[in-house]
Structure 1
Amino acid sequence: MPSENPLKILIVDDEPLARARLRELLGDIAVQLPSAVVGEAVNGLAALDFLRENPVDVVLADIRMPGMDGIELAGHLGALAKPPAIIFTTAYDNYAVQAFDLNAVDYLLKPVRAQRLLTALHKVAAAPPLNPELLGSIGQAVRGSGRTHLSCQERGRLLLVPVAEVLYFKADLKYVTARTIEREYLLDEALTHLENEYAERFIRLHRAVLVARSALAGFEKAAGDDAEAYGWALLRGVPEKLPVSRRQWAPAKALVKSA
Structure 2
Amino acid sequence: MNVDQPRILVIVPCFNEQSAIAGVVRDLDSIRQREKYQLDILVVNDCSTDKSIQIIQTLPCLCLNLPVNLGIGGAMHSGYRYAYQRGYDIAVQVDGDGQHPGDQLPVVLQPILQQEADICIGSRFIQHEGFQSSFTRRLGIRYFRWLNQLLIGKTIHDSTSGFRAFNRRTIELANTYYPDEYPEPESIVQFGLQGLRMKEVPVRMREREGGVSSITSTQALYYMFKVSLGILFTYFRLVKKRKR
TM over 0.5: no
**Length-normalised TM-score, structure 1:** 0.30
Given the two structures, how large is their TM-score scaled by the length of structure 2?
0.32
Higher strand proportion (structure 1 or 2): 1
